[in-house]
Amino acid sequence: MRKAPMSVIDSIRNGLAPVHREGYPFLLIGAGVSVVLLWLVPPLGWIAVLITAWIAYFFRDPERVTPLRDGLIVSPADGRICLVGPAIPPRELDLGDKPLPRVCIFMNVFDVHVNRAPIGGRILRIAYKPGKFLSADLDKASEDNERSGMVLETPIGQVGVVQIAGMVARRIVSFVREGEAIGTGERYGLIRFGSRVDVYLPVGTRPAVAEGQRAIAGETVIADLAAPARELAFRVS
């Protein structure tokens, strides 16, 4: 039995990601302003329409296919890997005062901003700390900027993940609570408008990504705790 050909509307619908509920208030405001300006000042109204379309694009929440295996740690955010190397975790995470392997993902305003759990486990701790709004791709942003950290208790050790506000970001949203269980790749938070997420890995972990690489939340494997601890080589082409 032959399938009916896909219509143009179906093709467009399948190519569009749904908008996360956090974006609904902004879309409603944008749509209202657009209607009023289109009636009163059409040129400004079309600009408002474009801004509203960008808001829908910013708050998009596409489905992801997450690899599931013990030991795999996936990227919690879409964006560019901006830093890879040892760093002392923020004090509020209570992960000790010794450097841990760290992977930092920088999100610009065009990246998907829904964050996903890098590994499954129980949420041991959520800690919010107010701070500055420096450029999120700077190393000192992990110490100075406003942030919200989460520690996951897993069978292979504790993993810390920190949402860091940037120059434009002014709100970090969390969808989870302490004590809850969360699966690898499940949505746990969102940062509005341009920011960074840091992942602190157990001692001895070798990150499987390099600086400059693009990561996809819930899909890109950034470390494999079950694999032998050996260095990886990378090539830019």
Helix or strand or coil: residue 92? helix
Tracing tokens 């390099």 back to the chain, one arrives at 210
Among candidate residues 48, 49, 52, 46, the one with its CA nearest the CA of residue 19? 52
For residue 29, give every residue at least 6 positions away whose Cβ sits within 8 Å of its Cβ, in sequence order, or none: none
Which sequence positions are flagged as catalytic? 195
What is the C-alpha to C-alpha distance for residues 208 and 198, in angstroms, rounded to an integer? Answer: 15
What is the C-alpha to C-alpha distance for residues 159 and 178, in angstroms, rounded to an integer? Answer: 14
Helix or strand or coil: residue 61? coil
Are 212 and 236 in contact by the 8 Å Cβ rule? The answer is yes
Q: Which residues sit opposite 105 in a β-bridge?
A: 81, 197
Are 220 and 209 in contact by the 8 Å Cβ rule? The answer is yes
Q: Which residues sit opposite 129 in a β-bridge?
A: 147
